[in-house]
Structure 1
Amino acid sequence: MITLACDGTFEGWLTALFDIYEYRFTDVEFSSEGVSANMFSTTRQVTTDLLKAERVKKGLKQRLSQQGYQQLYHTFFSEIENAEQQMWLFAQYVFASKINVEGDQRNPVVWNILKAAQMVRRESHRMKAFVRFQLTKDQIYYAVVEPDCDVLTLIAKHFSDRYADQRWLIYDDKRKYGIYYDLNSVSVVEMTFNELSGGVEIWDDKELFFQQLWQRYFGSVNIKARKNMKLHLQHMPKRYWRHLTEKKTGL
């Protein structure tokens, strides 16, 4: 068995697929740490090659619909167990078939990709709705999130389009990195810090005032007689409340 260790990028995984077919590997597994549970496995470190990755991407797009390719791509960010292995099994099925296979939901591999993609799409949608920016003294709008899936890069365009005239930073506290928009482009930044999680000294002087206004507005439209907590939790699960301004009032 060959254990393929990639660099944690989608392009790295695509490069690994190229190597599988180039060297005709027949028994492979993926491991981001390069560690295999099989003592007889040989580890191969995959060096990401953008040209190889593009060739594999082109091959997949020729055999899949745009939606089918997006489902495979989104699975990479799902963080489900053995995601890269599941993606490889799906790609293997795609390349081996003469017809489009993405509709074959009876196949467990296809079904696993579909479920993972749905999970990522749902989490991306929630993040677009649940991000709450706060203004710092440096005039950067800052937000903290802890999504179930690694979706920051997937939602970057949404926020750069919507807040094109503002500098902002969305930080994933679970994965310790963020996406930063500088009025021109979005870049990925890696950070490990705690100072922006609580200290009011870093916020703009008007920030707390606007937070209080938002909390009061939320309280005024929250009609207790019509409160449906079950439905509320369905649309806004409690695990997101920690970073929601309106929930800091306990409403």
Structure 2
Amino acid sequence: MRKMYICTDSVTGIFSAVYEAWKSGRDSDTCGIVFRGKVEQELFCEYCEIEESERKALAVEKMILRHLGERAYWDIYHAALSEREEKGNAILGAMLEARRIPDSTKIMDHLSHPMVEKVFEMSRSVDGEAHQLKGFLRFRELEGGILFAEITPKNRVLTCLAPHFSDRLPTENWMIYDKNHREIALHEAGKRWVLASDDTLDFEKTRNISEAERHFSELWKGFCRTISIEERSNPRCQRQHLPLWYRVNMTEFDAS
């Protein structure tokens, strides 16, 4: 009978499930991971709610870094941030496969294995979206001087974006709000960034932008209109470089 470990859709949840599956000594054919609230029960499967903890997640993290290497760790970590529901099984399957090959640090070269291939694809998708958002993300200054940005990503990329902006804006107070996953990256000037749920966010205050922000927003939109050449407009090419779902939160596409 196949044993399915039920966890939350988070890095801590997935790594805690991997911890339990690894400890059981089962192979990928006899165990799997499903997410709480998305369980579709199948015949001949035993479902087990796991106890999630930072201790288990850290133990798995250390194991990956020690036995699979840093490259595999980042691929697995990025895959855990993916929007795809099969990511738990893919990560578990790739790690169990690493246990079978002579050199576990070469696991991400085994793309012929379906689970390793999925981890690689999901990692590349997450990394690509995070890379694009580093350029497409737009901060606006609120009345209190805090820089605030909204994003609507497909994947959970906040933990990929926050270190980037923490390095570039270390002396600023800023927030990045992921509307799709209801999470916020918070950074206080001179301190480390933290991740929080949107329960802590006062949405009313995020609509009150400063006068300077209002002025520079108009200047920026005017500049973008001025440099455009109508005769050379190519919407299809523009969408390849800047997909439509990014434009919702970009100043230059705000009609207000």
TM-score, normalised with respect to structure 2: 0.87
User: Secondary structure of the equivalent of 1:96?
Assistant: coil
Partners in 1 of 2:95 and 2:47 — Cα distance?
21
Given that 1:7 and 1:46 are in contact with CA atoms closer than 8 Å, whether structure 2 keeps it comes out as no
Change (3 A) 1:214 1:11: same
Given that 2:150 and 2:177 are in contact with CA atoms closer than 8 Å, whether structure 1 keeps it comes out as yes
Partners in 2 of 1:36 and 1:24 — Cα distance?
24
1:110-149 pair list within 5 angstroms: 110-149=116-155
In the alignment of these two chains, the number of paired residues is: 247
Higher deviation after alignment, 64-73 or 159-168: 64-73
- Tell me the C-alpha RMSD between the 2 structures: 2.2
Instruction: Check if 1:61 corresponds to 2:83.
Output: no
Q: Which 5+ residue runs of structure 2 have no aligned equivalent?
A: none
Partners in 2 of 1:40 and 1:231 — Cα distance?
50
Given that 2:139 and 2:148 are in contact with CA atoms closer than 8 Å, whether structure 1 keeps it comes out as yes
The match for 2:219 among 197, 209, 213 is 213
Higher deviation after alignment, 15-24 or 91-100: 15-24
Partners in 2 of 1:170 and 1:234 — Cα distance?
25
Q: Which 5+ residue runs of structure 1 have no aligned equivalent?
A: none
Letter in 1 for 2:197: E
Given that 1:144 and 1:172 are in contact with CA atoms closer than 8 Å, whether structure 2 keeps it comes out as yes
Partners in 1 of 2:119 and 2:217 — Cα distance?
40
Partners in 2 of 1:159 and 1:9 — Cα distance?
22
Letter in 1 for 2:192: S
Letter in 1 for 2:20: D
| Residue matched to 1:28 | 31
Change (3 A) 1:55 1:194: closer
Partners in 1 of 2:205 and 2:129 — Cα distance?
24
Partners in 1 of 2:144 and 2:137 — Cα distance?
19
The match for 1:189 among 196, 216, 220 is 196
Instruction: Check if 1:84 corresponds to 2:85.
Output: no
Percent of aligned pairs sharing the same letter:
23
Partners in 2 of 1:81 and 1:196 — Cα distance?
34
Partners in 1 of 2:171 and 2:72 — Cα distance?
34
Deviation at 1:63, TM superposition (A): 3.6
